[in-house]
Amino acid sequence: MFLQVVVSGIVVGCVYGMAALGFTIVYNATKIINFANGEFMMLGGVLLAGLVAAAKVPIPVGILAAIAGCALVGWVLQRGVLDGARNSDPLTLVMLTIGSALALRGAAALAFGRDVSFVPEFGVLPLVLLGNVYIPSQGLWIIMVLVVVSAALWYVFSRTMLGKAMRAASQEPRAAALCGIEPRRTAALAMIMAGSIGGLAGAMLAPMSAAFYENGIFLGLKGFAAAVAGGLGNPLGAVVGGLLIGLVESLTSGFVASGFKDAVSFMLLILVLILRPQGLVGKAVVRRV
């Protein structure tokens, strides 16, 4: 029983980890908390459900379309909304992301309806039975996707010039511009990456928890909490924070009561912020001036 609860916590945690990665990437590129990030995941789910259930598109194509659609939404959000106000203070920009989240939620309700829709499991991967612990096939998919996404992001940000340029632009936007790096391009790129990851995560989650136009609210909150708990701006921290929140939620639902799971996970977040304000994985910045 205990191990089974841990497994489902890890699976949910992987989804939160991907949500947190979206916050992290955008924060790193622009120092803005993008509260529309949860909507990327919601859109990934409803897009996949719409395409697969209503338009009878094969699942792999549906997933790719969901990723592409969310990447496009991310790009439009950056270029069409946030860029127009790029000289405003960060609080204004954060408010714009909240407004955009509401607009996306409304648009999804109009386009895909207010009903819960379902996506069949992806299959292919087997249901694994270890002793008396089940790892569902969809759970395996989610764990694998998180591993692949994390590895890809690690590669981009620590090995490619583009990734380093994005980090440089977030640390010293002006100095980065003086090096020939266009901050508007790195910001748009970050939003496209966050959109793609969100769309993918939402599509992966859809067979487990149904697609619904209001899913973005809780996914966004959990992802934000995970990103902060792990240390805002730290990709590894985002994943660790996601797993931690998933585990705590799952353990609370399994052994206390499922009604308490949100309260417990947010209390944990507060505790982390009091004891380790830099986050679980974050280190206090060493810098000589």
Residues contributing to the site for another protein (CB under 8 A): 161, 164-165, 167-168, 171-172, 174-182, 285-289
Query: In terms of CB distance, is 17 or 183 closer to another protein?
Result: 183
Q: CB of 129: closest distance to another protein in angstroms?
A: 45
Q: CB of 31: closest distance to another protein in angstroms?
A: 14
How far is 174 from 151, CA to CA, in rounded Å?
Answer: 29
Query: In terms of CB distance, is 91 or 178 closer to another protein?
Result: 178
Q: CB of 285: closest distance to another protein in angstroms?
A: 7
**What sign results for the dihedral spanned by CA atoms 95, 99, 102, 108?**
negative
Looking up tokens 């511009």 gives 177
Q: CB of 93: closest distance to another protein in angstroms?
A: 19
Q: CB of 257: closest distance to another protein in angstroms?
A: 43
Q: How many CA atoms lie within 13 A of 134 on its CB side?
A: 5
Query: In terms of CB distance, is 176 or 192 closer to another protein?
Result: 176
286: tokens are 């060493």
How many of the other CB atoms lie within 10 Å of CB of 183? 19
Q: CB of 165: closest distance to another protein in angstroms?
A: 6
End-to-end CA distance of the chain: 54
Residue 118 three-state SS: coil
